[in-house]
């Protein structure tokens, strides 16, 4: 008799501020090029292109306080501080006017990027997975229920490394605001509770190294702090 293979069930969960329940992560969507200054910084795209999206695996999400191993296959690991939207109600073909009703909460996040691999993918017209969708690449802070964060979408984002500020923006400077992002995405995918949307990064991205401490602060939200640790040499073998 053949013994069936039993695969472990793994699901990342994030804590929710002030609540006993956690937020089980289903999918992770990321918006590309959603701040004009970052588009100019990277010399990519037009100033009002339609938003485009890429995904990271759900188990790339790591919580506040994590030590993140420096990943293999890169010499240019960069941070991108972002507002994260946690979806709490299912929907497809959502209008911008109805989009706020699908938001469960908000959090601070970081889209970690193997920039050299991303550029290789771009130059070879290949998907971005090698640059974006690797282990531990989606740090996300404590989720604050949206009704407790009324001023966040008009607030500011700051990212610092070892206490030195690198990114600072108003969330009002997004090319596509949060309701528009949700609407656009929902016309391609049915959004479900457990989905996270990383809403894009402003200018100021730069490389980090083992020992660096990255902190993201967004108006009205719990801060997110992670540390880059030494990578596992076995991962590159």
Q: Alpha helices of 31-114 — where are they, by DSSP H? A: 36-42
Q: How many contiguous H segments (helices) and E segments (strands) does the chain have?
A: 4, 17
The tens place of each residue's pLDDT in the chain, 237 residues long, gives 455 555 555 469 999 999 999 999 999 999 988 887 655 665 555 556 678 899 999 999 999 999 999 999 999 999 999 999 999 999 999 999 999 999 999 999 999 999 999 999 888 888 888 999 999 999 999 999 999 998 889 999 999 999 999 999 999 999 999 999 999 999 999 999 999 999 999 989 999 999 999 999 999 999 999 999 998 743 443
> DSSP E strands: which ranges in the chain?
13-15, 22-24, 28-32, 52-56, 61-63, 67-69, 77-78, 81-87, 103-110, 113-114, 138-140, 144-145, 156-161, 164-170, 196-198, 213-218, 224-229
- Locate 201 and state its tokens: 């990064």
**Interacting residues of 29 by C-beta distance below 8 A, sequence separation 6+:** 53, 54, 55, 185, 189, 195, 196, 197, 198
Q: What is the pLDDT of residue 45?
A: 55
Rounded Cα distance between 14 and 215, Å, is 18
pTM of the model: 0.90
**Interacting residues of 125 by C-beta distance below 8 A, sequence separation 6+:** none
Which residue, among 212, 27, 185, has the nearest Cα to 93 in the 3D structure? 185
The answer to whether 187 and 20 are in contact (CB under 8 A) is: no
The answer to whether 197 and 104 are in contact (CB under 8 A) is: no
Distances, alpha carbon 142 to alpha carbons 2, 131, 213, in Å = 44, 25, 17
Can you tell me which residue has the tokens 């993918």? 121
């Amino acid at each position: 008799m053949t013994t069936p293979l039993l695969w472990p069930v793994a699901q990342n969960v994030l804590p929710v501020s002030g609540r006993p329940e956690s937020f089980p992560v289903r999918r992770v969507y990321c918006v590309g090029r959603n701040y004009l200054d970052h588009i100019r910084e990277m010399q990519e795209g037009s100033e009002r292109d339609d938003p485009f999206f890429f995904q990271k695996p759900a188990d790339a999400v790591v919580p506040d306080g994590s030590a993140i191993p420096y990943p293999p296959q890169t010499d240019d690991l960069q941070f991108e501080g972002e507002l994260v939207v946690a979806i709490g109600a299912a929907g497809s073909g959502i209008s911008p006017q109805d989009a706020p009703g699908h938001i469960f909460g908000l959090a601070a996040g970081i889209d970690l990027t193997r920039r050299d691999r991303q550029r290789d993918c771009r130059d070879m017209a290949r998907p971005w997975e090698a640059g974006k969708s690797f282990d531990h690449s989606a740090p996300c802070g404590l989720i604050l229920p949206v009704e407790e964060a009324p001023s966040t979408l008009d607030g500011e984002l700051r990212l610092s490394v070892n206490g030195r500020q690198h990114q600072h923006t108003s969330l009002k400077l997004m090319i596509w605001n949060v309701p528009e992002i949700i609407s656009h995405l929902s016309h391609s995918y049915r959004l479900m509770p457990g989905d996270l949307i990383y809403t894009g990064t402003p200018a100021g991205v730069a490389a980090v190294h083992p020992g660096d401490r990255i902190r993201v602060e967004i108006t009205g939200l719990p801060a997110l702090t992670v540390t880059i640790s030494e990578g596992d040499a076995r991962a590159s073998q």
